[in-house]
Structures are given as structure tokens and as C-alpha cells.
Amino acid sequence: MLVYSIIFPIVSILAIGIFYKRFKNGKNSLSSFIVWTILWIFIFVFSIVPDASSIFARFFGISRGLDFIIILAFAILFYIIGKLYFIIEDMQNDMNKIVKEVALNNEITLEDEEE
């Protein structure tokens, strides 16, 4: 048995457990829990039955199963990076609004100094 076929399923089970716990504690939405669980199930299946990736590869017109996994991994990574970029952008804008409002509502005067 190859090392990855032992490590990846363990990591997958742990990851699903972590996401379940986060969902239970209300830190993750149901949709994000389902998406991540499906992803980790895929990793679990592909690491135990590597040939399973060939079935998906053929379905999408890709010749090798490994190519399918690599393309899928890149697609997921780009999606996550894009999503994080927009989240950070929104947070930056929110932060700017707060910083500006706090400054505008708190003019520094000589009276403040005396207090």
C-alpha cells in the first residue's frame, strides 16, 4: 500500500470532522460545509481508489485521471484565491469607512488636551 493512500484518507476524515465541528458551532454555513465535505470525499476516494479519477476524466474528455485531479485542484485553488481577494477587498473598504467615520466624529481639539 502506498503512503499517500494511507495519509490522504486520514487527512480527509480529520478535515471533514473539523468542518462538521465548525458547522455545528455555527462558524460555517450549511452550504460551505456541504461543498467542503464533497471535496474531501473526492480526495478520500481518489486516494484509496486512484482509478476512480479516470472515470471522471473520461466524462470530462481528459485522457488521464491524474490530469483531471491536477486541473480540478488548480480550478479550486483559483476559485478560492479569487473569493478571498474579493472578501479582503470588501473588508478593506469597510475598514476605510470605519477609520474615516471615527476620524470625522472625533476632531481633536484643545479641550480634549485639557481633559
Which residues would be at the binding site for another protein (CB under 8 A)? 92, 95-96, 99-100, 102-104, 106-110, 113
In terms of CB distance, is 63 or 96 closer to another protein?
96
Nearest to 1 by CA among 43, 60, 48: 48
In terms of CB distance, is 55 or 101 closer to another protein?
101
**C-beta of 51: minimal distance to another protein in Å?**
43
Compute the distance between CA of residue 105 and CA of residue 27 in angstroms, rounded to an integer: 33
**C-beta of 106: minimal distance to another protein in Å?**
7
DSSP 8-class letter at 26: T
**C-beta of 104: minimal distance to another protein in Å?**
6
User: Who's near 62: CB < 8 A, 6+ residues apart?
Assistant: 68, 71
In terms of CB distance, is 51 or 114 closer to another protein?
114
Task: Find out whether 71 and 29 touch, Cβ atoms under 8 Å.
Answer: no
Task: Find out whether 4 and 47 touch, Cβ atoms under 8 Å.
Answer: yes
The residue type of 27 is K
**C-beta of 112: minimal distance to another protein in Å?**
9
In terms of CB distance, is 51 or 111 closer to another protein?
111
